[in-house]
Amino acid sequence: MRTDRTLFYVCTILITIGVVFSLSLTAFTVLAYDYDHLHFFIRQFGVGVIGVFLMWSISMLNPDKILTFIGLFLFLTMFVVMITMPFLPPSIVKEVNGANRWIRFPGISFAPVEFFKIGFIYFLAWSFTRKIDDTKKSFWTEVFILFPYTIVFSFIIYIIAFLQNDLGQIFVLSLVLLMMVIFAGTSFKILGSGAMLLVVAVFLVITMSEHRIRRVYSWWAGIQDIVLSFLPSDIAQKLHIEGAQTPYQISHSLNAINNGGFFGQGLGMGTFKLGFLSEVHTDFVLAGIAEEAGFFMLVVIVGLFFTLLYRIFKISSRAKNNVYYLFSLGIGFMFLFSFMVNSYGITSLTPVKGLAVPFISYGGSQLLAACFAIGLVLMVSKKSKLEG
């Protein structure tokens, strides 16, 4: 059977969009750090070419022979690497904005968590297939089966959310885990219990960090007037926070989107990238694109992501092997939740989590990991009947 060419082409187009805007949106950063004006473009273009080749190369492999090895190797290796990172010297572990998430190599930085997510999703698919089936079980039997995964994931939360200060990745992985548990064959009682545990875990992680509390207050300050206008006055008064300031990044993000209109100001003509949106080529790339290419380009990008997700879920639904089915499903949800968290954050619907837009945001680790994940899904597509 043939690989899913549509999925390959869609990902290539998204990578191309990201490369183009890595040149357009980095004008201020280039001047601020005295880089060559092609610095970010050349790096993203090079990684993009490697990523496309990686997708194509991995898709040629036989999943029956290699997928389990790749998936479990990524899970175990990246897990060990993340555990050892706090003990490595600062010359090796790179700190950015107070987060130790990157390992420094000559000329590049590598974020193990990006590849760990792929391995973790495969581990869940491989393990769930052996532990969970569609047979009817009591609620407590299902809890007993899932309890070891709760212990493992608690340790993962500690490593990523506390040691690496990356709550966004934990939020995405939690949602992926929850969805995979349901599609593996557990009951909807588990869905409700899992959702409650997720809410409690996020609450605890936030309240244990002064920085995260301030971020939530700032987010609420930006939307409280709108939300509270729909509530009774006595309740609204209790929920209103005095003195909280709206995050300036969100204000500039919304202004950039508004300034772009339908067709944008033109490629390279954006103004909010000139020091107002400091992470415009990474976390706020969609806002930068909206200003320069308009709402029209955002619709194109959303359409491309919709097509990407449709093809992944189609591959998943038509895979005869249950491990392939759950793995492809998990990868699809990973891309879906990452895109949603970023797009909701830049529009102030949710707090900003610092997650990249897959394939489009500047960054070698996230781009290579996304291409690697798609390559594995393309490998699986050869075992799925996609015709019709």
To the nearest whole percent, how much of the chain has pLDDT over 90? Answer: 42
| Lookup result for tokens 């879920």 | 313
| Higher-confidence position of 161 and 374 | 374
| Higher-confidence position of 130 and 180 | 180
**pLDDT of res. 112:** 93
Output the six-digit token pair for 161.
């959310």
- CA-closest candidate to residue 297, choices 276, 270, 334: 270
| Overall average pLDDT of the 121-132 stretch | 91
| Overall average pLDDT of the 255-259 stretch | 87
Residue 336 has pLDDT above 70, yes or no: yes
Q: Count Cα atoms within 13 angstroms, Cβ side, for 371.
A: 26
**pLDDT of res. 374:** 97
Q: Are 361 and 281 in contact (CB under 8 A)?
A: yes
**pLDDT of res. 280:** 85
Q: Are 311 and 4 in contact (CB under 8 A)?
A: yes
Model confidence at 243, in pLDDT bands (50, 70, 90)?
Answer: low
The winner for highest mean pLDDT among 25-39, 119-133, 230-244 is 119-133
Residue 388 has pLDDT above 50, yes or no: no
Model confidence at 292, in pLDDT bands (50, 70, 90)?
Answer: very high
Model confidence at 120, in pLDDT bands (50, 70, 90)?
Answer: very high
Q: What is the pLDDT of residues 34-88, one digit of tens each?
A: 787 888 899 999 999 999 999 999 999 999 999 999 999 999 999 999 999 888 8
Residue 106: what residue type? P
Q: What is the pLDDT of residues 339-352, one digit of tens each?
A: 999 998 888 777 77
Rounded Cα–Cα distance for residues 202 and 234 (Å): 28
Q: What is the pLDDT of residues 183-207, one digit of tens each?
A: 887 766 777 777 787 777 777 767 7
Range from 22-26, 74-78, 113-117, 122-126 carrying the lowest mean pLDDT? 22-26
To the nearest whole percent, how much of the chain has pLDDT over 70? Answer: 85
**pLDDT of res. 386:** 65
Residue 74: what residue type? L
Across the chain, mean pLDDT equals 85
Whole-prediction pTM: 0.89
Model confidence at 228, in pLDDT bands (50, 70, 90)?
Answer: low
Rounded Cα–Cα distance for residues 130 and 273 (Å): 50
Which parts of 80-137 are beta strand (E)?
93-96, 99-105, 108-110
Range from 23-32, 56-65, 223-232 carrying the lowest mean pLDDT? 223-232
Model confidence at 270, in pLDDT bands (50, 70, 90)?
Answer: confident
Range from 138-147, 318-327, 339-348, 364-373 carrying the lowest mean pLDDT? 138-147
**pLDDT of res. 237:** 67
Compute the chain's Rg from CA coordinates. 21
| Overall average pLDDT of the 201-225 stretch | 68
